[in-house]
Amino acid sequence: MNRSGTADLRAATAFEVTKDRNGVDQVVLRNRRGASARVSLYGGQVLSWRTDQGEELLFTSSKAIFKPPNPVRGGIPICFPQFGNCGSLEQHGFARKKIWVIDQNPPPFLQHNDSNDKVYTDLLLKPSEEDLKIWPHSFEFRLRVCLTVEGNLTMISRIRNINCKPFSFSIAFHTYFSISDISEVRVEGLETLDYLDNLFQRERFTEQGDALTFESEVDRVYLSSSDVIAVFDHEQKRTFTIRKEGLPDVVVWNPWEKKSKSMVDFGDEEYKQMLCVDGAAIEKQITLKPGEEWTGRLELSVVHSG
């Protein structure tokens, strides 16, 4: 799990493998201050991220189905190797419906310093024979989920082409933030950007507002954004900050009332308590030559203002 030495001893108490009610392994991470994260090996999906006060920061629907092969409605599903229905695969690709394994011997993460103050788990997904029939590309998808001493949640993804031919993919970390009331939330960092509007056949528009606020269904892919986006929740007096590398696009989604009623795994009124803001690479697919590796990094933090 970690390199040997003192970090091992400190991290060992903060890393626990448990099973959910369907027998699927989950990894629970806890930092020294008491913040926590819970990651399911089903989908490599972060299901919970809590502050040291025990406050849950991610939304999961009360009607979420935790039984494979259903994806879990909430947390942070990984959409790979396809986002949405823009391709030949099922909606959002297959990675979120596969069992990942704990990677016992990950190659070193050279680009980011993993200090002793972090607790993390390394997961690995490789394609099955079944996967190769529908998407004939050999890959290794390594995911490090990390909780910093401040309680920030970091996800570092590395995807390597171990095929003899190039392949292309899109990816999104479909983060469901828990919010007090969608009408009291604004998103900053998307102003003046072009976006593809999925409610208008992916037509391209330009964002006119200084901040994004919500009064109806939103399903957009903002293109080539800055690497820092902020979600302000006025009622809760807290701000989520999304920092990203290698993920140029940002998906913003809220199903609103009508769509909510059509989803079996989502409560009719739950759209008020959630907002998806994803770090993603969608418009321009990432292409890897044989042996090449792509790295993407997402860091989520929260600040309370009162």
State the CATH number of the domain containing residue 197: 2.70.98.10
> What would the two tokens of residue 112 be?
């980011």
- Which residues are known binding-site members for substrate? 73, 91, 96
Provide the pLDDT for residue 105: 84
- Considering the domain boundaries, does residue 242 fall inside one? yes
Cis amide leading into 81 (omega within 30) = yes
- Whether 8 is covered by a domain: the verdict is no
Enumerate residue ranges in the chain where pLDDT < 50: 1-13, 111
Q: What is the number of domains present in the chain? A: 1
Whether the Cβ atoms of residue 179 and residue 238 lie closer than 8 Å to each other: no
Helix (H, G, I), strand (E, B) or coil at 176: strand
**Residue 261 CB neighbour total at 10 angstroms:** 13
Q: Is residue 297 part of a domain?
A: yes
Does some domain include residue 87? yes
Q: Report the chain's terminal Cα–Cα distance, integer Å.
A: 37
Amino acid identity of residue 209, one-letter, is G
Q: Which residues pair with 280 in a beta bridge?
A: 172, 249
Sheet (strand 36-40) strand order = 15-19, 25-30, 36-40, 45-50
Radius of gyration of the chain (CA): 19
**60-75 confidence digits (pLDDT tens):** 998 888 888 888 899 9
φ/ψ of 55, rounded to 5, equals: -80, 125
Residue 262 domain-assigned (yes or no): yes
Q: What is the residue range of 254's domain?
A: 14-106+116-304
- Residue 162 class from Cβ within 10 Å (0-12 exposed, 13-18 middle, 19+ buried)? middle
Q: How far is Cα 82 from Cα 58, in angstroms, rounded to an integer?
A: 23
What pLDDT was estimated at residue 193?
A: 97
Is 211 part of any domain? yes
**Beta carbons within 10 angstroms of residue 204's beta carbon:** 12
pTM: 0.92
pLDDT of residue 14: 82
**Burial of 301 by CB count in 10 Å (0-12 exposed, 13-18 middle, 19+ buried)?**
middle
- Looking at the chain, the number of H-run helices and the number of E-run strands are 3, 21
**Does residue 2 form part of some domain?**
no
Q: Which residues are annotated as a binding site?
A: 73, 91, 96
Cα gap 84→200, rounded to integer Å: 14
**pLDDT for 136-157, tens place per residue?**
999 999 999 999 999 999 999 9
Q: Is residue 186 part of a domain?
A: yes
Q: What is the pLDDT of residue 289?
A: 97
H-run or E-run covering 124: strand 119-125
